[in-house]
């Protein structure tokens, strides 16, 4: 039987997840079909009912990658939520796992995880981000929750969250409280100086949404000049989770000023590695070199995971 997995979201045609996953399964010799499926929030319950029926009958589904706008709605569609996903209330991975011991039905279960956190942490560490960094997060949506959890794991003492509307940051506040990270919610407008002064900046904004801030940063960096210290104009590490189009305007401004830029593709690769571990059931037994073929599939430099 050909096993099946997919990435769900709306829109979804731009997703690079199929290329990453297919490369991994080919390297592992696993017969797994992986596709991109456009699913809206309204259509999610019906779609998941079909997946659940397939799982109940011992069918082919093995996992789902979940992207916007479905990461919170998926909470209600799984049997269990584990790890940091439970604290954050955000699921980006659904794995089909064996029944719990003592379950008389013997039916497999749908288990929700969040691999975005590991994706962010590993991408930032690979880029040489400082430990216990001063930190800023741009945006207060679903991905910001994973960003805050990642900063907590990196031992950041606190974080500033810059949003377009400070009255609509409940999700980010809840995530910060869940992981125990002190935060300030601040307006995105006028944030250039504070953002430029942070050791680590994670932009969770949609494509082009950071362009106005990028313009302010370009002006600020020009005024500061091109010295070798942060005070002279050299920023820290920027992870921009948006990867299409690339480079984003804020990434280009950051790199031009001498800062380190981590493309969202890096985060996508690292979180996909964790998903492959779940979907195949290999866990830590999965060969490290699988990440090499995943990098090759999307034109990213190879690295040791």
Give the residue numbers marked as catalytic: 71
What does residue 115 show for φ and ψ, rounded to 5 degrees?
Answer: -95, -5
For residues 143 and 115, the answer to whether their CB atoms sit within 8 Å is: no
For residues 168 and 140, the answer to whether their CB atoms sit within 8 Å is: yes
For residues 134 and 199, the answer to whether their CB atoms sit within 8 Å is: yes
DSSP characters for 269-291?
A: HHHHHHHHHHHHT-GGGS-TTHH
The rounded distance, in Å, linking the Cα atoms of 34 and 4 is 6
Q: Is 295 helix (H, G, I), strand (E, B) or coil?
A: helix
DSSP characters for 165-196?
A: -GGG-HHHHHHHHHHT--EEEEESTT-HHHHH
- Residue length, the chain? 305
| 193: CB partners within 8 A, 6+ apart | 220
Q: If you compute the radius of gyration of the chain from its CA atoms, what whole number of angstroms results?
A: 20
| 8: CB partners within 8 A, 6+ apart | 37, 39, 44, 47, 64, 65, 66, 67, 70
């Amino acid at each position: 039987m050909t096993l099946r997995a997919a990435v769900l979201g709306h829109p979804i045609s731009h997703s690079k997840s199929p290329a990453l996953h297919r490369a991994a399964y080919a390297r592992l010799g696993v017969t797994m079909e992986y596709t991109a499926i456009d699913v809206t929030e309204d259509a999610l319950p019906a779609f998941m009912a079909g997946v659940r029926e397939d799982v109940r009958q011992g069918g082919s589904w093995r996992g789902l990658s979940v992207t916007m706008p479905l990461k919170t709605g998926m909470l209600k569609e799984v049997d269990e939520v584990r790890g940091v996903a439970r604290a954050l209330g955000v699921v980006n991975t659904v794995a089909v796992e064996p029944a719990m011991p003592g379950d008389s039905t013997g039916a497999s279960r749908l288990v929700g995880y969040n691999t975005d956190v590991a994706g962010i942490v590993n991408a930032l560490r690979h880029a040489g981000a400082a430990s216990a960094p001063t930190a800023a997060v741009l945006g207060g949506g679903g991905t910001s929750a994973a960003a805050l959890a990642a900063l907590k794991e990196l031992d950041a003492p606190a974080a500033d969250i810059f949003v377009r509307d400070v009255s609509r940051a409940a999700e980010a506040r809840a995530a910060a409280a869940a992981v125990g990270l002190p935060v300030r919610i601040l307006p995105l407008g006028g944030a250039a100086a504070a953002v430029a002064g942070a050791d680590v900046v994670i932009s969770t904004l949609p494509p082009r949404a950071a362009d106005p801030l990028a313009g302010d940063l370009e002006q600020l960096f020009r005024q500061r000049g091109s010295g070798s210290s942060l005070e002279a104009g050299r920023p820290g590490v920027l992870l921009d989770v948006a990867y299409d189009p690339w480079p984003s305007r804020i990434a280009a401004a950051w790199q031009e000023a001498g800062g380190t830029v981590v493309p969202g593709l890096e985060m996508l690769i690292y979180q996909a590695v964790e998903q492959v571990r779940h979907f195949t059931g290999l866990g830590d037994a999965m060969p490290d070199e699988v990440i090499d073929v995943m990098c090759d599939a999307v034109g990213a430099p190879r690295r040791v995971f």
